[in-house]
Amino acid sequence: MKTIFNANHAAHRAEYEFFRGEKVPAFEKPERADWVHAAVQRAGLGAILPPQAHDDAAILAVHSEPYVRFLRGAHAEFVAAGGDGAVFPSVWPIRGMRSDVEPTNFAARMGLYSFDSGSPLTAGTWQATRSGADCALTAVDLLRAGERSAFVLTRPPGHHAGRDFFGGYCFLNHAAIAAQALRDAGCARVAILDVDYHHGNGTQDIFYDRADVLFVSIHGDPRSEYPFFLGHADETGRGAGSGCNLNLPLPAGTTASAWFAALDQALARISGFKSDALVVSLGVDTFEGDPISHFKLKTADYPRMGERIAALGLPTLWAMEGGYAVAEIGDNVVGVLGGFAARS
């Protein structure tokens, strides 16, 4: 399995974030990708490649042009107005307010294009996430050339980013960009499996009305777990996409046996969808030692996850998402990928 590594990931480096209203050291930090990179090298999973440059067309097939334009220039605009360091959203157009008119005020636009205060936008955010999109598109190129799998090793992650908003540490949705690129390359149907602890609300937002992309997510119950306002079991798609969205929320404290039962349900749904390719949003914050998540998977459980996903027999693109227990993140990721490779 080839890995496409985003060497620009560390351009996005925040000292702190706001976590449940409290200012704390940033959980989403460069060491996450560096430890995974080192573990992939040690495991000898395959070649580690740089991304190839792609134009913005594939990004704009998923994200709105005004949002991408804002994200590209946001930090420079902040600095030009006298700002310094990371910038955080502070005001949002909630229920009853209008969101169809783009304000001229920078703070208002930060709120228009975001949904939480926990995602610092830094001088290098655009460079890092844009390079991540190139990694995802390079992985698509590999699958199109006949590879059976590829791993997109990038940060910041992507699955919370919707068509026109960022949040949850995510700015461009790399898994969604890859899925759409696979569709545009000729795949009639694509399935996305999100195994991150947190619901991929951005991915659901992007594909909720569509019948050609199935989204399946196993995650913490949104009644108590971030992102809170999406990810319930009764969200099954809308219009043409009715039946093409499957959420499998689980309570905090879920053990490996219950989690794998949900995985079996997810894989059965994917198998029935008859997709041509699979994109996996690979978060390993399901680990029992993760500092911001509450499932009970152990390092020894992750190879089994990869093995079961491999049994689908689909060309598979893996996109790195969450996982904040930095010391264990590399072993957990390599466990999944190694299990997949062994079964494949």
Per the listing, tokens 């998923």 go with 62
**Residue 11 in tokens:** 């351009």
The terminus-to-terminus CA distance of the chain in angstroms comes to 10
Contact assessment for residue 187 and residue 275, using Cβ atoms and an 8 Å cutoff: yes
Confidence of residue 302 (pLDDT cuts 50, 70, 90): very high
Q: What confidence tens digit (pLDDT) does each residue in 217-252 have? A: 999 999 999 999 999 999 999 999 999 999 999 999
**3-state DSSP call for residue 311?**
coil
**Residue 1 in tokens:** 């399995």
| Predicted confidence (pLDDT) at residue 3 exceeds the cutoff of 90 | yes
Q: What confidence tens digit (pLDDT) does each residue in 246-266 have? A: 999 999 999 999 999 999 999
* Cα dihedral 39/43/45/47 (nearest 10): 70
> Is 2.60.120.260 the CATH number for 2-13+22-53+124-343?
no
Q: What local confidence, expressed as pLDDT, does residue 318 receive?
A: 99
**3-state DSSP call for residue 25?**
strand
Give the distance, in angstroms, between the CA of residue 290 and the centroid of all CA atoms in the same chain: 17
Tell me how far apart the alpha carbons of residues 306 and 338 are, in angstroms, rounded to a whole number: 7
| Predicted confidence (pLDDT) at residue 344 exceeds the cutoff of 90 | no
Q: What confidence tens digit (pLDDT) does each residue in 17-28 have? A: 999 989 999 999
Contact assessment for residue 154 and residue 166, using Cβ atoms and an 8 Å cutoff: no
**Residue 321 vs residues 99, 128, 295, 340: alpha-carbon distances, Å:** 28, 14, 16, 17
Element (H, E) at 24: strand 22-25
Contact assessment for residue 224 and residue 192, using Cβ atoms and an 8 Å cutoff: no
Return the closest-CA partner of residue 326 out of 11, 99, 25.
25
**Residue 121 in tokens:** 């936008």
CB-based contacts of 195, cutoff 8 Å, min separation 6: 218, 263, 280, 281, 282, 283, 286, 305
Please tell me whether the overall predicted TM-score, pTM, comes out greater than 0.75 for this model: yes
CB-based contacts of 258, cutoff 8 Å, min separation 6: 250
Annotated catalytic residues are 160
Query: Where are the strands (E) in 31-115, listed by range?
Result: 48-49
Q: Residue 225: phi, psi to the nearest 5?
A: -120, 145
Q: What is the mean pLDDT of residues 66-90?
A: 97
Quote the mean pLDDT of the chain: 98
